[in-house]
Structure 1
Amino acid sequence: MKVRFIGALLLLVMSVQVAGAADKANPAVNASDKDSFQTVSEWVRKQMDAGGRYAETNGEERQVVNARLDEMSKLFEQKSSVDQMSIDEKKKLLVDQEEINSILGKRDGDRLICKSERPIGSNLPVKTCVTARERDQRRREDNKELERQQVNRQKKWG
């Protein structure tokens, strides 16, 4: 009973990762075997590069994700499917996957960030939503504009 539960939980966690990534590249896999895991692993690594969905991961996080993907790959090299793994191996696989999901979930450029604000002169809140990537891009553009204005002001007044 526990083996089936852990196996089902592992498949669910891995399929959630793939399903959440459906709008970019849809490998259409349930990473229950070595080949499907390899597809997901390659996709995640590619998305951590510049311009990818997880491009906001910092160096340390990227190292952790790559290390956990390597550990999971080693498990799949020993046993070609989740069904063949022992309970301890399945637990290790699940723990590694959870750590990866935790990091990538925080750094997902496509995750929606919504906030409710009251416009000036109104008591009715307005909900606005943007992706993390759009928010970060806007922040960078605003900082650039602020620096440009400060430089121009210094040039004007000496």
Structure 2
Amino acid sequence: MSRSLLVGVALLVSGSCLAKPPEPPLRPALPFAAQHERIRADLQAGERYSEISATDRQRVAEALERMAQAIGEGNAEALPPERRARVFNDQELVNTLLARAREDSRLVCRREKPIGSRMPVTQCQTVAERGRMRQDADSQLRHVQEGRIIKAND
């Protein structure tokens, strides 16, 4: 039994080591113009980054525009060090905001049996929706508990 447990743990560890991390939206090795258009299209489509806030969407658009103006038709490597640093900072901002939005927009599906039924139903929600539902439930529970405490003291 301990041998099969050891083999199972080894398989889990090796599988997690082989999983490659998600690639950032903006990569220096690829042409900026193509990446810029792809990111704008993904933001317009609303599927990959469906949970991005309006302020973050605006910040991404502004950073992309600043990068496009700085790089132009050339290459970021050819820029003077100060401008290259600004482009790099904007690139980090875009990657951070879009990575967070992509993670929040990830769809998670669960099969659950509703009360009174034996037939499972698939329920899919984004990670952000699940978080909002959890926060709402916590706040409602706190509200109910505070209401009982107030009534108990009266």
Q: TM-score, normalised by structure 2?
A: 0.50
Aligned identity (percent) is: 20
Partner of 1:69: 64
Indicate the residue corresponding to 2:38 in structure 1: 43
Q: Does 1:53 align with 2:48?
A: yes
Alignment of 1:73-112 (within 5 A): 73-77=68-72, 80-108=74-102, 109-110=105-106
- 2:129 matched residue in structure 1: 136
Secondary structure of the residue aligned to 2:67 is helix
Per-residue CA deviation, residues 25-65 of structure 1 (Å, 9 max, x unaligned), is: xxx9823xxxx211111111111234421121111111110
Structure 1 residues 100 and 135: CA distance shift in structure 2, 3 A: closer
| Shift in Å, 1:111 | 8.4
Contact 2:25 2:95 in 1 (8 A): no
Aligned residues: 95
Q: What is the distance in 2 between the residues matched to 1:91 and 1:111?
A: 35
CA contact (8 A) 1:48 1:56 kept: no
Verify the 8 A CA contact 1:65 1:100 in the aligned structure 2: yes
Residue 136 (structure 1) shift: 2.7
Query: 1: distance between equivalents of 2:38 and 2:62?
Result: 15
Runs of 4+ in 1 over 3 A off after TM superposition: 137-140
The 3 A distance-change label for structure 1 pair 132 and 105 is: farther
The match for 2:24 is 17
Higher radius of gyration, 1 or 2: 2
Q: TM-score of the superposition, structure 1-length normalised?
A: 0.49
User: Residues 111, 133 of structure 1: CA spacing in aligned structure 2 closer, same or farther, 3 A cutoff?
Assistant: closer
Contact 2:76-2:84 at 8 Å conserved across structures? yes
Residue number in structure 2 paired with 1:11: none
For residues 51-81 of structure 1, give each alpha carbon's deviation from its aligned partner in whole angstroms, at most 9, with x where no partner exists.
421121111111110000000000111x601
SS in 1 for 2:126: helix
Q: 1:89 to 1:45 in 2, by over 3 A?
A: same
Whole-Å Cα distance in 1 between the matches of residues 82 and 125 of structure 2?
A: 36
